[in-house]
């Protein structure tokens, strides 16, 4: 076993899906451990899910990392699920017992032992030390728990700001009503390439814009940005225009719950854009966006929107090479039928040589839906591998394959696969 090539051992480890099996594989001998450990830290995140039942184990891990154990510089990925010791080790319990000839009520057990209380007091310092020791950390996913105490936010942000290789940071605050303003402005290493925030709403949108714009300013290598908000729309223009022209070279942009009113200053950050998601936005707010992208010669490869307008179709008809297109609610406009005819007749053929994925999902059955007489519109799409469309009810005839639109679509894919 000691004579096996390291590359071969690592290949075996890469084929091991189960986390426990991978740990067991490391225990075979020293050679295997050294080879597999690299695969383990490159492919598996360290998960922090703190509660009182496992408080001792987690604190031990924190102390080891803080003291500079070998893993502290090898760990690449971190996933924080909870920093709140939510479950009580000794929950209160009151009961009645018969003693000395009478019934007596026994008081509840103490909630925490002295050891637990001591650990909780040391947690802020130990957590900070453990996080700061992860000098090889590249990716962090942080799920903010509603029971996490306020100090955890400062400790995490301060610690991440000290990491020299942090390239991907993802914050998920959908478990709480409103995401607090985190100290994103402290992330000034210049190493961030991917940044994502998901929340129901923001507790202080104005301060959030300020801290985000500072993050953008100090991380010019940022190529992927995701801002996903479920509540009323915010103004993306006021955020992005706080960043000096040509600071960013965004390649992928995901916006939900943001108004996007195009300006020349904004478009300067979109010169390298190839992937764009615009969801749950005011359609009118990006009325000029399509014209601006067209004028700037920016040709997207992947596009997801939830509404369709003539300006969008005009933009899509101005270039070729689109690989993925998703339109979730194309029939929400008054001229929906005309837009549908134009899309299938004029817009779709422009990307027939490149389109691999197409989703067109109208609310209602109408011109956007596909029937037997419409399947031919996909004949030109020779590279299509994924198709999601609404079908006309009258043309779904499972008992008569000759007039079943489902069979017709399946036959189309058979032709595409063998062509």
Tokens of 303: 């596009």
Q: Considering only CA atoms, which of 280, 271, 269 is closest in space to residue 239?
A: 269
Q: Is residue 306 in a domain? A: yes
Contact predicate 378/349, CB 8 Å: no
Q: How far apart are CA 146 and CA 260, in angstroms?
A: 30
Give the pLDDT confidence score for residue 147 in this predicted structure: 85
Give the CA diameter of the chain: 94
Could you list the residue range(s) of the whole structural domain that residue 329 is in?
A: 299-419
Residue with tokens 């994924």: 386
Q: How many Cα atoms occupy the beta-carbon half-sphere of 60 within 13 Å?
A: 4
**pLDDT tens string 66-114:** 999 888 888 999 999 988 876 554 555 666 777 778 887 776 655 667 7
Total domains in the fold of the chain: 2
Q: Is residue 201 in a domain? A: no
Q: Is residue 27 in a domain? A: yes
Q: Is residue 319 in a domain? A: yes
Give the pLDDT confidence score for residue 215 in this predicted structure: 96
> Could you tell me which residues are beta bridge partners of residue 47?
79
Q: How far apart are CA 285 and CA 401, in angstroms?
A: 45
Q: Is residue 36 in a domain? A: yes
In the three-class reduction of DSSP (H, G, I as helix; E, B as strand; rest coil), residue 390 is classed as: coil
Q: What are the CA-CA distances from residue 320 to residues 186, 250, 287, 317 (Å)?
A: 41, 21, 21, 7
Give the pLDDT confidence score for residue 305 in this predicted structure: 94
- Which stretches in the chain have pLDDT values below 70? 1-40, 86-95, 107-112, 281-285, 398-399, 401, 403, 412-419
- Give this prediction's pTM: 0.84
Q: Considering only CA atoms, which of 40, 50, 32, 48 is closest in space to residue 75?
A: 40
Q: Considering only CA atoms, which of 274, 304, 302, 270 is closest in space to residue 289?
A: 270
Q: Is residue 273 in a domain? A: no
Q: What are the CA-CA distances from residue 5 to residues 2, 10, 42, 74, 366 (Å)?
A: 8, 9, 19, 21, 61
Number of H helices, E strands in the chain: 13, 16
3-state DSSP of 265-304: HHHHHHCCCCEEEEECCCHHHHCCHHHHHHHCCCCCCEEE
Q: How far apart are the first and last CA of the chain?
A: 48
Ranges of H-type helices in 296-388: 310-316, 336-342
Q: Is residue 116 in a domain? A: no
C-alpha torsion 250→255→260→263, nearest 10: 0
Contact predicate 126/155, CB 8 Å: no
Q: String of b and e for 246-281 (b: at least 16 CB within 10 Å)? A: ebbebbbbbbbbbbbbbeeebbbbbeebbbbbbbeb
Q: How many CB atoms lie within 10 A of CB 346?
A: 13
Q: How many CB atoms lie within 10 A of CB 1?
A: 8
Give the pLDDT confidence score for residue 4 in this predicted structure: 43
Q: Is residue 328 in a domain? A: yes
Phi/psi for 179 (5° steps) reads -75, 130
Strands 77-82 vs 275-279: parallel, antiparallel or unpaired: unpaired
Q: How far apart are CA 316 and CA 294, in angstroms?
A: 9
Q: What are the CA-CA distances from residue 344 to residues 351, 376, 419 (Å)?
A: 11, 10, 22
């Amino acid at each position: 076993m000691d004579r096996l090539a390291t590359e071969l051992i690592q290949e075996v480890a890469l084929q091991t899906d189960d986390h426990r099996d991978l740990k067991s594989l490391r225990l075979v001998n020293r050679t295997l451990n050294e080879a597999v450990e690299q695969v383990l830290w490159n492919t598996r995140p360290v998960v922090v899910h703190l509660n009182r039942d496992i408080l001792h184990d987690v604190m031990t891990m924190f102390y080891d990392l803080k003291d500079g154990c070998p893993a502290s510089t090898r760990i690449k990925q971190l996933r924080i699920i909870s920093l709140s010791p939510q479950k009580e080790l000794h929950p209160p319990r009151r009961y009645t017992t018969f003693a000395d000839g009478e019934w007596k009520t026994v008081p509840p057990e103490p909630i925490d032992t002295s050891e637990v209380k001591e650990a909780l007091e040391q947690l802020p310092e130990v957590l900070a030390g453990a996080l700061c020791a992860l000098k090889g950390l590249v990716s962090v996913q942080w799920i903010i728990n509603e029971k996490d105490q306020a100090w955890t936010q400062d400790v995490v942000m301060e610690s991440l700001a000290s990491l020299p290789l942090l390239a991907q940071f993802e914050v998920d605050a959908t478990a709480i009503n409103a995401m607090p303003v985190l100290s994103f402005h402290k992330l000034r290493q210049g190493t961030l390439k991917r940044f994502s925030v998901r929340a129901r709403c923001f507790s202080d949108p104005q301060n959030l814009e300020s801290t985000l714009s500072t993050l953008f300013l100090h991380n010019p290598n940022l190529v992927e940005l995701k801002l996903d908000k479920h509540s009323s729309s915010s103004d993306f223009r006021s955020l992005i225009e706080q960043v000096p022209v040509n600071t960013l070279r965004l390649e992928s942009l995901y916006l939900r719950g943001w108004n996007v009113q195009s300006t020349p200053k904004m478009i300067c950050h979109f010169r390298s854009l190839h992937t764009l998601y615009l969801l749950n936005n005011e359609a009118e707010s990006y009325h000029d966006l399509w014209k601006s992208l067209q004028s700037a010669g920016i040709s997207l490869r992947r596009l997801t929107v939830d509404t369709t307008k003539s300006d969008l179709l005009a933009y899509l008809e101005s270039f070729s090479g689109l690989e993925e297109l998703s339109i979730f609610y194309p029939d929400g406009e008054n001229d929906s039928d005309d837009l549908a005819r134009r899309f299938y007749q004029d817009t779709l053929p422009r990307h027939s040589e490149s389109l691999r994925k197409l989703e067109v999902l109208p609310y209602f059955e109408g011109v956007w839906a596909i029937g037997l007489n419409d399947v031919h519109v996909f004949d030109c799409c020779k590279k299509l591998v994924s198709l999601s469309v609404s079908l006309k009810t009258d043309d779904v005839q499972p008992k008569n394959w000759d007039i079943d639109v489902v069979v017709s679509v399946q036959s189309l894919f058979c032709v595409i696969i063998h062509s």
